[in-house]
Structure 1
Amino acid sequence: MKRKLSILLLSLLFMLAVSVLVACNADSTSDTDTSNEGEESEDTNDTSGDEPLTLTFFSADGEEKSFDDPVAQKITEETGIKLEIDYPVGGNDEAIPLMIASGDYPDLIYAKGDIGKLIEAGGVIKLDDLIEEKGDNLKAMYGEQIDRLRNSVDDPSIYTVGTYGVENAYWETSGTFQIQLDVLRELGYPEITSLEEYEDAITEYYEKYPEIDGQPTIPLSLLGSDWRWLITVGNPAGFAAGLTDDGQWAVDDETGETTYKFLLPEMKEYFKWLNGLNDKGLLDPESFTQTHDTYISKLSSGRVLSIADQDWNIGDADAALVSSGNEWKTYAPLAVTLGDEYESQGLKDYGFAGGWGIAISATSERQEEAFEFLDWMASEEAQILVNWGIEGENYDVVDGKRVMKEEDRERMNTDSDYPKETGVGYYVYPYPQWGNGALDSDGQPITPDSEQDIIENFNDAEKEVLAEYGMDNWIEWFPSTDSLGVSNHGTVANYSIESGSDLEIIQQKADDLTEQRITQTVLGSPDDFDEAWDSMIDELEAMDIDKANEAMTQKTLDVMELWGTK
């Protein structure tokens, strides 16, 4: 009885197994067919009737925005790719370390200065072979400057592409110090090239007009409460001393010698001047505590006579002033320095900067597709699209030349939401870009920002002031790009510093110290300035700042060797 039951049981089990195998085989065949269809679709890049492929992208710069504006839709139409973009919340600088700790990477990563950490962690791939095999657009774009993409002398691999233009023309400057157009008009259009003349101008206007529209006039306002301390406090000090834009460093472009810039006597001279402004009541008392929104609101009110800032940081205020009819309250850039012996570097050509860029993660299952997308972004078709928008919608072709539609041109100058809503200009940075000095295959500018366009787009108040000075463009106030020459070392601000290195640790300590001490010193009594400054220098020396100088000098020399500029 037992034996018969066992045989029956075995028979049932056998039949069940056969049934399962048949079902599995049918499912497998079905899956294989679907997979093959998908692979064929991807290989031919024919997305008709298919959902686009979504690539995840972390960008260390920007703001939350969906990839669905008209230009983004056109990019998807042409590439079959849709981006799901994530940004660090509140400027969180721990995003990359957290990413490394979790091992959870998006397909594409723009890490800015943290790219070195990703390379060390093995979180991103080398792009050399992909560039050689299928990077025709990237090779054409970078040309002889492709070596500037390489990581280091010890590891000359390419991990990133993009961020900065390759061929740049300098038809405008963000300005280091900027002054209201109405101040220039009211004072009879004076020449302002030194800090002393700058102070005289805002003082005279302030004394004549202590209030503007019923609110207290602010001679100079800064934004030193967050990371913009570097932009409006630290950087202008170097610019006034004739230094190039190398972040916290001063570089001898011939020898490569690099020094933590706050050690220089010129820095003491600049901040002593700023301390004097504060003591005279000419510096906004909220310069080191106000939020960005408060700062922009003040500028938008028209009562801030001068700033030490970059155009990209005040765009919302500029647009608000123009749209409200307060064009005379917008700003003119000035080539202001400590004195005649210093030369403003506002139009300096740094060459293609290299260093930072977009990388492809080591864990991405779509590495080839991600690379093909980046290579397409370097194509002429893509460059025209992201810079000009869509033909017939954002621009027309007239007599064979692209001409921006009047409404779009107007919005570009007055509406800060224009790039986000249309996508025009939004996908230039930090993607691969030819640069504003590049021409397409027809010899036309690749961007709508030719010098003539810039001049035509000046508001009426700017044009009137420029005419009074006998100029067409603000850059005529600055030493020319040709006279300043091309940087041999690029810019130290874009160098990747190894995570956990002595250089990284010492610089971080030094940056924290100088931001705190300089703020205190500027706001302190002039009688205490020298002692406070000397005390800060002693603290820097105690943390072995000379060791950091040596390490950064070597890094600068390595870059010059890698680029063949020394």
Structure 2
Amino acid sequence: MVKKHFWFGILLLVGVLLLSACQDDTATTDDSSSGSSDEPVTLTFFSSDGVEKEFNDPVAQKITEETGVELELDYPVGGNDEAIPLMIASGDYPDLIFAKGDIGKLIDAGGVIKLDDLIEEKGDNLKAMYGDQLDRLRNSIDDPSIYTVGTYGVNNAYWETSGTFQIQLDVLRELGYPEINTLEDFEAAITEYYEKYPEIDGQKTIPLSLLGSDWRWLITVGNPAGFAAGLEDDGQWAVNDETGEATYKFLLPELKEYFKWLNGLNDKGLLDPESFTHTYDTYISKVSSGRVLSVADQDWDIADADKALVQDGKEERTYAPLPVTLTEDYQSKGLKDYGFAGGWGIAISSTSEHQEKAFEFLDWMASEEAQILTNWGIEGVNYDIVDGKRVMKEEDRQRMNNDADYGKETGVGFYVYPFPQWGTAAVDSNGQSITPDSEQDIIDNFNSAEKEVLAEYDMENWIDWFPPTEELGVSKHGSVANFTIPSDSDLQVIQQKADDLIQQRITEAILAKPASFDSVWDKMLSELKDMDIETANQAMTKMVKDKKELWGTN
């Protein structure tokens, strides 16, 4: 009997030990999945401006090494702008979300968390980065909470601009380096060159090409009209910065004047007839061929085409930005300082199981270490320390300017936007530029044709053509383009209808016979009135005034 109890005791002890071991294994697995072990935590990240990419380049690996975080990158396939509404409908959110202008929808749906307490408790890097600009992250007067961080630099310098139009360097060279300040000057230049060279490399020359078949209608059609009229970049609005009064800009007679000029350009055969039908890929292919004399586009949108031209030895077919306005009575705002924009940014979802880890990751991205890594890459690999200063390796500098895949392959520069960023004017603790994009870097990186043309104009940089930033002052309201308009508000509903209408009607007006232009325009104004655009004007005016009150810039 004693022997039986002995063996029973032994078996019981073994069982307890085995159970204990199993429990230890389970705890280890749980710890690993929660990120408390050496295994990195995977955070899903949806970016409305993302592209197909794995988080596996050298800079990404270094980020993981420093933070214990791997990102699973997601993006809107095919430019799908319904991605955020679909998230809200399903209630299935990634850990991190960059929703751009749809952030208001996520806030209203309870899909993202407030960051105020986290910033106060463990946001030392973010607090240091934003400083007295922290209030610009706040959502609204009615809800002054912070839901997002990142997207735009806090301290920016204005050493580059895309201007109203960009014109091929060879046009400037061939015409003896003319001054081009007005629409009349611009039209004369592209007309003269087109008549001399109706073909380039065996293909028909295109004097001006736009991309009005998708959302870039706003970039290449709507925005240049405002720039030519001397407006600041407030998206679809014209804003009096002092009074806060906002007007839907397409109501202004100055914009009608611009589009009437564009209508005339089309009638004369100077506008690409496919401007409102071709795809982005086709448009970029045309620009890459070197036969498009001018575009009304931003550097970031044609960057791949610009690099392709350089690679093909067609540096003279790359572009210079122009401060073109309707007449000499208007002033280009290409170098306007909007201050830190606030508004849009990266949010942490309410359903994330790793909210604290996600915040710690975003805070680290605001650190000096992270800013140097994401902007410059890895010391000894992408840059060297020479006489105590960071110097980009020549191969990397060349690839950065000429290789469209450089950022995706190396990670250098790829994780700057839309994460927290100090800005192009910021310097590190040693007084060095936090980015490899100082004005001198920009000047040094100009291709040989750019340097030749700049010298002929007795300039060092293209911005020398433009009214200086100091003269234009700092915006008190930032930019309406970055406002978060409450979803389903009268303003949001009316503006969406108005935007859809003007894209249709203005396209129609540009392509109409000149004799029909006024009737198409007048019909559009009548339709805008019928949809109560004045109510939208009043609502946006209130938003601008509220923004100034929230920021203390009244």
Which range, TM-score by smaller chain?
A: over 0.9
1:49-69 CA deviation, whole Å, 9 max, x = no partner? xx3110011110021100000
The 2-side partners of 1:259 and 1:462 are apart by: 38
The 1-side partners of 2:301 and 2:31 are apart by: 48
Aligned counterparts, 1:142-541, within 5 A: 142-541=130-529
TM-fit CA distance, 1:176: 2.2
Indicate the residue corresponding to 2:3 in structure 1: none
The 2-side partners of 1:495 and 1:24 are apart by: 60
The 2-side partners of 1:283 and 1:179 are apart by: 14
TM-fit CA distance, 1:412: 0.6
Indicate the residue corresponding to 2:6 in structure 1: none
The 1-side partners of 2:466 and 2:199 are apart by: 32
TM-score by length of 1: 0.94
TM-fit CA distance, 1:37: 5.4
SS in 2 for 1:304: coil
1:296-350 CA deviation, whole Å, 9 max, x = no partner? 1111111111110000000111001111110000000000000111110100110
Indicate the residue corresponding to 1:96 in structure 2: 84
Indicate the residue corresponding to 1:34 in structure 2: 28
Assess if the C-alpha contact under 8 Å between 1:149 and 1:355 holds in 2: yes
Q: Are 1:125 and 2:113 an aligned pair? A: yes
Assess if the C-alpha contact under 8 Å between 1:348 and 1:484 holds in 2: yes
Assess if the C-alpha contact under 8 Å between 2:59 and 2:412 holds in 1: yes
TM-fit CA distance, 1:213: 1.0
Indicate the residue corresponding to 1:565 in structure 2: 553
Assess if the C-alpha contact under 8 Å between 2:227 and 2:333 holds in 1: yes
1:62-105 CA deviation, whole Å, 9 max, x = no partner? 21100000000000011110000110111111111110111111
Indicate the residue corresponding to 1:12 in structure 2: none
The 2-side partners of 1:557 and 1:320 are apart by: 45
The 2-side partners of 1:330 and 1:519 are apart by: 27
The 1-side partners of 2:189 and 2:17 are apart by: 86
The 2-side partners of 1:123 and 1:37 are apart by: 26
TM-fit CA distance, 1:30: 2.6
TM-fit CA distance, 1:374: 0.1
Q: CA RMSD in A?
A: 1.6
Assess if the C-alpha contact under 8 Å between 1:412 and 1:418 holds in 2: yes
Amino acid in the other structure paired with 1:423: G
Residue from 50, 56, 72 that aligns with 2:44: 56
The 2-side partners of 1:551 and 1:489 are apart by: 15
Flag structure 1 segments of 5+ consecutive residues without an equivalent. 1-17
The 1-side partners of 2:549 and 2:219 are apart by: 29
Indicate how the Cα distance of structure 1 residues 62 and 191 shifts in structure 2: closer, same or farther if over 3 A, else same: same
The 2-side partners of 1:25 and 1:456 are apart by: 68
Indicate how the Cα distance of structure 1 residues 368 and 273 shifts in structure 2: closer, same or farther if over 3 A, else same: same
Indicate how the Cα distance of structure 1 residues 34 and 337 shifts in structure 2: closer, same or farther if over 3 A, else same: same
The 1-side partners of 2:47 and 2:17 are apart by: 46
The 1-side partners of 2:175 and 2:156 are apart by: 35
Amino acid in the other structure paired with 1:514: I
The 2-side partners of 1:232 and 1:53 are apart by: 41
Amino acid in the other structure paired with 1:224: G
The 1-side partners of 2:66 and 2:468 are apart by: 40
The 2-side partners of 1:453 and 1:33 are apart by: 52
Assess if the C-alpha contact under 8 Å between 2:163 and 2:324 holds in 1: no
Assess if the C-alpha contact under 8 Å between 1:175 and 1:311 holds in 2: no
TM-fit CA distance, 1:42: 4.3
TM-fit CA distance, 1:483: 0.4
Q: Percent identity?
A: 77
TM-fit CA distance, 1:34: 1.9
The 2-side partners of 1:438 and 1:551 are apart by: 36
Q: Are 1:110 and 2:110 an aligned pair? A: no
The 2-side partners of 1:38 and 1:286 are apart by: 55
Flag structure 2 segments of 5+ consecutive residues without an equivalent. 1-11
Amino acid in the other structure paired with 1:106: P
TM-score by length of 2: 0.96
**Higher deviation after alignment, 137-146 or 340-349:** 340-349
TM-fit CA distance, 1:545: 0.2
1:518-566 CA deviation, whole Å, 9 max, x = no partner? 0011000000111110110000000000000000110111111000011
Amino acid in the other structure paired with 1:228: R
Assess if the C-alpha contact under 8 Å between 1:182 and 1:328 holds in 2: yes
TM-fit CA distance, 1:24: 10
Indicate the residue corresponding to 1:543 in structure 2: 531
The 1-side partners of 2:31 and 2:527 are apart by: 66
Aligned counterparts, 1:5-44, within 5 A: 26=20, 29-30=23-24, 33-34=27-28, 38=32, 42=35
Assess if the C-alpha contact under 8 Å between 1:174 and 1:312 holds in 2: no
Count the aligned residue pairs: 542
TM-fit CA distance, 1:28: 6.9
Indicate the residue corresponding to 2:68 in structure 1: 80
Assess if the C-alpha contact under 8 Å between 1:221 and 1:306 holds in 2: yes
